[in-house]
Amino acid sequence: MAELHELSAVALRNQLRQGKVSAAEVAAHFLQRIDRQNVPLGAFITVTADQAMERAHSADSRRARTPAGELPLLHGMPVAYKDLTDVEGVPTTHGSAALDHKPALCDAPLVALLRKAGAVSLGKTQVPEFGLTAYSENRIAPPSRNPHALSRSSGGSSGGSAAAVAAGLLPFAPGTDGGGSVRIPAAACGLVGLKPGRGLVPAGESLGDPARLVVAGPIARTSADAALMMDALVPAGPPSAMSTPAAHRRGMPGIVPDNDGGYLTAVKQEPPKLRIGITLDSPWSGTFPFSPEQEALDALNAGIGLLEHAGHALGEASIRYDNRYPDAFTTAWTAAVGTARISPHREALLAPLTRTFRRRAHQRSPAKLAESLAFLRQFQHDTVAQYARWDLMLTPALAQTPRPVGWFTGMHGGDRWPAAPWPGDADGDYRKQCEYAPWSSMVNVCGLPAITLPVHWTGGAPGQGLPMGIQLVGPAGSEALLLQVANQLGY
């Protein structure tokens, strides 16, 4: 018989609803795994065991007096939140030594939503400082490491959450994605990561986001597990018809879920045959020229083979991006750190990259930010128009294999944690990140949904070596379609 952490999230949810296992038993099982494995892994910053067990017992009491069909969707399901998201009574560190770590006064919208759905929080997961980077390393806790190779990073900024799911410390987890922060760690850890489109799900983070880049989405082992979390994040379910613009023009039928309207119902349906554009074009290429590693191209080719075998038509797509994008995106992406409330005498505790971007944000005029936001709106319009020639766009998920811990910052291996000062090459750090994940941030700017799938392993077979993935980007409202394609491909 499978142990609880070996069950899919859907199977575990079903056992909880059927009373085959109690919420307290589930919480205790996962807390024990965290206690045994978190020290080498660094997935959690804070573990809230007492609160979790209290809520699990409350869930069991509720089940004793409630018919199974009336229980909340995620009754008793363990989750955790990245430590950028407020959970009432638990400190939100933002991964920063420069802040006072006071307990949050109330739940962020994301937490309130999943709490209402019956989820039980086990704690807060590791993040980079203010969620700024594609790796989850900071100066307040050990770095988050990749369960498939502890010398490698789990990605960022939802790196602790992805590491926890991949290591079986959680069945699934919500992440937040403002420039790739769900998809990058999901790809690095061999998971399914879905970034919903703009405005569909509350972001749940407590810092500003002037370009509306951030959205919450599931990090899971399968598309069905991701769909289950989407049903909790979007209680109204997917749109009633999810045909893509190109498919609609060709007279193809829309994808209509069963009467309950859920993503979990929709994911089981076969998608229509799609036209999928393949591209390696990136808006970062002009500023940071890069060459994808062979393993990234191998993952892309593996994805092409799977999609063609499923009956989809694929072709080369040439996308032209405005070369002003890197400056405008960086201005918008780092604006919030400029407004963070940090005492002047504590700014020296910031990591070099954060401190550099904060100083530059202070030096910019409001007019510069407004100009960048206006440019990004035009970039969105132009890019979406180019993508609309295809039903979906296909890219590698990452241009490089998961990077060694400390590779971005120069703290190789993370062995110098805690260290002060860190190496100070902020611009080199940022350049490495943009070369590592060059196909992520423009999807946030465009407000589109996207999914990453672990289609390739460097050791030649699933679970062997390091995972590498593909990214599929869809038009607005295509979250269920992306999940269907993922399920069709076996993920």
Catalytic residue chosen out of the listed positions 136, 153, 154, 157: 157
Considering the candidates 96, 161, 181, 441, report the single residue annotated as catalytic: 181
Does some domain include residue 336?
yes
Residue 237: the pLDDT is: 86
- Would you state the pLDDT for residue 144? 98
The 3-state secondary structure of 332-345, one letter per residue? HHCHHHHHCCCCHH
Looking at residue 203, its pLDDT comes to: 61
Question: By residue range, what is the domain housing residue 134?
Answer: 125-158+168-488
Q: Which residues pair with 47 in a beta bridge?
A: 123
Residue stretches of the chain with pLDDT short of 50 = 241-261
DSSP 298-312: HHHHHHHHHHHHTT-
Question: Alpha-carbon distance 154 to 424, whole Å?
Answer: 22
The question of whether 273 is a catalytic residue gets the answer no
For residues 268 and 257, give the distance between their C-alpha atoms in angstroms, rounded to a whole number.
Answer: 9
| Pairwise CA distance, residues 186 & 402, whole Å | 11
Cα 441 versus chain centre, distance: 12
Strands 120-125 and 44-47: antiparallel
Residue with tokens 């829309």: 254
pLDDT value at residue 205? 60
306 falls within a domain: yes
> What is the predicted pLDDT for the residue at 255?
38
Helix axes 9-18, 223-233, angle to 10 degrees: 60
- Which phi and psi angles does 335 have, rounded to 5°? -60, -40
Q: Per the structure block, which two tokens stand in for 9?
A: 């999230």
Annotation marks residue 116 as catalytic = no
Q: CATH number, domain at 342?
A: 3.90.1300.10
Domain count, the chain: 1
Please name the residues in contact with 435: beta carbons below 8 A apart, sequence gap of 6 or more.
284, 288, 290, 399, 400
Q: Pick the catalytic residue: 82, 124, 195, 432?
A: 82
Asked if the structure places residue 102 within a domain, the reply is no
Verify whether residue 22 is a known catalytic residue.
no
